[in-house]
Structure 1
Amino acid sequence: MERFFKLSENNTTARTEMVAGVTTFLTMVYIIVVNPAILTSAGVPFDQVFMATVISAVVGTLYMAIFANYPIAIAPGMGMNAYFASVVATEGLSYQAVFGAVFLAGVIFILLSLTNLRETMIYAIPDSLKYGITSGIGLFIAFVGLRNAGIVVPNEANIVGLGDLGNPVVLLTIAGLFMTLVLFVRKIKGALFIGMVATGILAFITGQISFSEGLISAPPSPVFWDIDIAGVFSNGLYTIVFAFLLVTIFDTTGTMIGVAEQAGFMKNGNLPRAKQALLADATASTVGSAFGTTPTTAYIESTTGVAAGGRTGLTTIVVAVLFALSIFFTPIIQVVANMPAITSPVLIIVGCFMIEGLAKVNWKAFDEAFPAFAVVLTMPFTSSIATGIAIGFISYPLLKVANGKGKDVHWIMYVFAVLFLLQMVFFPVH
């Protein structure tokens, strides 16, 4: 263990790594409840999503531990799951076809991770669009949380309106949200998980949930290859594939750099073993889609494990083991996932985390600000991350050319702008 993970070289001990692993797990374990809660709304069976969530987390996290030796955990990402559900609902597609899009995005991500093209894409796309995309997804999933809980409801006069605040689910959601927010401002580790537990206890006391099926059981059987790759081509889901790929690349790369900087892994601006780390996420996304879940990403919650002293892959080994053990608690997780008041506060708070990048947008430079604004505005109002990305990629080079700064735009952006324009005109995603 010492020689494999190089504990002494990284100034850590096995005990410290294990504590860090438990800390990281507690801060991100909410995903095994929230992910099934979102994807079941798209018709994916609960047991399938639950097992796929755990499998992809275990595969990606173990890969990260063994081949990259970093304390960075992998699991299905927030935002992409809500986008998946919205695509299935608005396009009238089968979830199998959309899983096909996720699978192809994962395969492309693996290929990009083996080349320098990934770095070229990241360099070519301006920071303002990256911040706009992440922030737009944040608003999107926060809106999903508000809608699922009934805090906002359809309204004929102005599209959406305030829900019935006397509804027991709405009241429980608000109570859970405030309890979790208090835990956060008090800097309690695992605040999201603890907040869900507290909300669940309150739901049990008030009779809104019950555990008639017991607390533990044998794990469900995983479902493999319930996907339709041919449906990607027959339905022209190329923009969907690109949206999954693009967001995963940005999200994973940004998170890995953030965690690596906190842990002191960065060397002259570069991340050692970056290729192995990116392959962990790409592999997990591909495997996860084959079992029935959306793209994975590196989790920013890994910073809590780093803060607890985690410096090697032993931290993520512990995370993977704990995820694997969670499969025996299916009855509890299924009950919790079916109560939106328990999961919605997580969506709302994570949405808040994701819009912090807006502070880095140069709002005084209109040709930088408006494309970011357009992305943020479009994603929640159209319930489409792909549409938001397309609007941003079209408007950015257009405004730069109009402002006499066309030479400052990377040629890849012009290619994307033309492709997105053609797609929106001839193959629109509604």
Structure 2
Amino acid sequence: MFRLKENNTTVKTEITAGLTTFLTMVYIVIVNPVILSTAGIPFDQVFLATIISAVIGTLWMALLANYPIAIAPGMGLNAYFAYSVVGNNGVDYTVALAAVFVAGLIFLILSLTPFREKLIIAIPDNLKHGITAGIGLFIAFIGLRQTGIIVDNPENLVGLGDLQSPKVVLALVGLAITVILFSLNVRGALFIGMIATSIIAYFTGFLSFNEGIVAMPHLPEGLIISNPFSAIGDVFQHSLYAVVFSFLLVTIFDTTGTMIGVAEQAGLMKNNRLPRARQAMLADSLGTSFGALFGTSPTTAFIESTAGVAAGGRTGLTSVTVAILFVVSAFFAPLVSSVSGLSAITAPALIIVGSLMMGALSDVKWSEFDEAFPAFLVILSMPLTSSIATGIALGFISYPLLKLVKGKGKQVHPLVYIFAVLFLIQLVFLPH
């Protein structure tokens, strides 16, 4: 079924690779509920919704595309959901999930057409890199605020927190442990760092397990979106067009880029093309749509899948292993709930993931001002406005404007001009 011999691999190698990938990305079942619960969604709801969306997306990738790529709710998109869509727009989380669902449906349709690939080609590379780096900076800033390392400052908006505070010290110790593990190339460094910090927190009295460790999985609210037509109506009623577009845009870039990167590392690309690309691209769109029904932000292909590829994973059997392990993790909600309640344990993961995403800065053409400034505007505005959508909008507006001034208007794809006008209308005339 998985053509193991054709891909020069074995069952043992694939299972080992799946375990490796799972350990590097299992932090998402802790961090995602932490972030989305700040938007009002019950923790247990997000916890199980995260696992459901990961299992659906990853199994589709495994069984239909036969790739060792895992799918789960993406970092950055969850922060955008909680702090920008719900926080800045003042909408209920059910309305925000409706926007995710609609974005997932559009994503699904685009994945069945060549438009998705054309859109990726149309968007300037420097804007893509700027969006990735900006989201990374935003995520890291959230992590620093959650730990108390960075606090409010009446004179300068933000300032350094109390480094003698026991919780701040615990967060710094956790961050140091995880950074050291990363620097030593330890697989599963984020997850192991959380475990080590949890052990320290437990013996210093910061962490307790009053609700036990294991429990039957449950969804407190069942299906949050039970009527798809109502979800579409909510998007129109609250004018969440820019939100849907931002979810769509970031997910398209993030997922497609990750898929290509993992496939190249695994040697699965054929003549610079990804075989079974359409089946693979349906995985994240399905995960996003089903995840929204249960209560989580959009899914994406996880770059941590490269860890499994490095361990020898070459087929969908690796992904099946990941999906099975996610199912097993569903029975440990009380343990995850206790750990996630202490930001000192989870925030270091946000800071480090943010630093990894900042690597995109090296690909920005800083020597060309008309290329560099729009990317800079995206990167700067995301954390300062607490809005990924605003950062994307400013980048898309400034890029074609600078190109026109430089007499390079013909180099800009017509779709970018369309997006620029839409974003300008959204920023000036629509509430945000």
Fold shared per TM-score above 0.5: yes
Measure the CA separation in 2 of the matches of 1:39 and 1:428.
23
- 2:329 is the counterpart of 1:326: yes
The alignment of Structure 1 onto Structure 2 pairs a total of residues equal to 426
Pick one of 354, 368, 371 that aligns with 1:368. 371
Pick one of 88, 108, 129 that aligns with 2:106. 108
Following superposition, the deviation at residue 224 of structure 1 comes to 4.0
Pick one of 274, 289, 298 that aligns with 2:301. 298
Once the two structures are superposed, what CA deviation does each residue of 1:305-332 show, in whole Å capped at 9, x if it has no partner? 0000000000010000000001111111
> 1:369 is matched by which residue type in structure 2?
A
Which shifted more, 86-95 or 7-16?
86-95
- 2:7 is the counterpart of 1:10: yes
CA contact (8 A) 1:57 1:75 kept: yes
Pick one of 199, 202, 217 that aligns with 1:201. 199
**SS of structure 2 residue aligned to 1:154:** strand
Measure the CA separation in 1 of the matches of 2:243 and 2:381.
16
**SS of structure 2 residue aligned to 1:5:** coil
CA contact (8 A) 2:42 2:220 kept: no
Measure the CA separation in 1 of the matches of 2:196 and 2:157.
33
**SS of structure 2 residue aligned to 1:17:** helix
Pick one of 51, 58, 80 that aligns with 2:77. 80
Following superposition, the deviation at residue 150 of structure 1 comes to 1.0
- 2:100 is the counterpart of 1:125: no
Pick one of 423, 426, 429 that aligns with 2:429. 426
CA contact (8 A) 1:224 1:292 kept: no
- 2:272 is the counterpart of 1:274: no
Pick one of 29, 44, 53 that aligns with 2:26. 29
Pick one of 178, 184, 204 that aligns with 1:180. 178
Q: Report the equivalent of 1:56.
A: 53
Measure the CA separation in 1 of the matches of 2:364 and 2:386.
23
Q: Report the equivalent of 1:99.
A: 97
After superposition, residues 216-227 of structure 1 pair within 5 angstroms as 216-221=214-219, 223-227=221-225
Following superposition, the deviation at residue 221 of structure 1 comes to 3.2
Q: Report the equivalent of 1:381.
A: 384
CA contact (8 A) 1:51 1:222 kept: no
Measure the CA separation in 2 of the matches of 1:220 and 1:206.
31
Q: Report the equivalent of 2:187.
A: 189
Once the two structures are superposed, what CA deviation does each residue of 1:12-59 show, in whole Å capped at 9, x if it has no partner? 000000000000000000000000010111110011100100000000
| TM-score, scaled to structure 1 | 0.98
Measure the CA separation in 2 of the matches of 1:272 and 1:355.
30
CA RMSD in angstroms comes to 0.9
Measure the CA separation in 2 of the matches of 1:13 and 1:89.
48
> 2:236 is matched by which residue type in structure 1?
F
> 1:40 is matched by which residue type in structure 2?
S
CA contact (8 A) 2:39 2:86 kept: yes
**SS of structure 2 residue aligned to 1:160:** strand
Following superposition, the deviation at residue 428 of structure 1 comes to 3.7
Measure the CA separation in 2 of the matches of 1:168 and 1:41.
23
Following superposition, the deviation at residue 231 of structure 1 comes to 2.4
Ranges in structure 1 where 5+ consecutive residues have no aligned partner: none
Q: Report the equivalent of 2:265.
A: 262
Q: Percent identity?
A: 63
Q: Report the equivalent of 2:320.
A: 317
> 2:82 is matched by which residue type in structure 1?
A
CA contact (8 A) 1:67 1:276 kept: yes
**SS of structure 1 residue aligned to 2:120:** helix
> 1:174 is matched by which residue type in structure 2?
L
Point out 4+ residue stretches in structure 1 off by more than 3 angstroms: 221-225
**SS of structure 1 residue aligned to 2:38:** helix
- 2:249 is the counterpart of 1:246: yes
CA contact (8 A) 1:222 1:291 kept: no
> 1:29 is matched by which residue type in structure 2?
V
Measure the CA separation in 1 of the matches of 2:383 and 2:147.
16
Following superposition, the deviation at residue 222 of structure 1 comes to 6.2
CA contact (8 A) 1:17 1:314 kept: yes
Measure the CA separation in 2 of the matches of 1:310 and 1:114.
27
| TM-score, scaled to structure 2 | 0.97
Q: Report the equivalent of 2:403.
A: 400
CA contact (8 A) 1:52 1:222 kept: no
Measure the CA separation in 2 of the matches of 1:65 and 1:339.
34
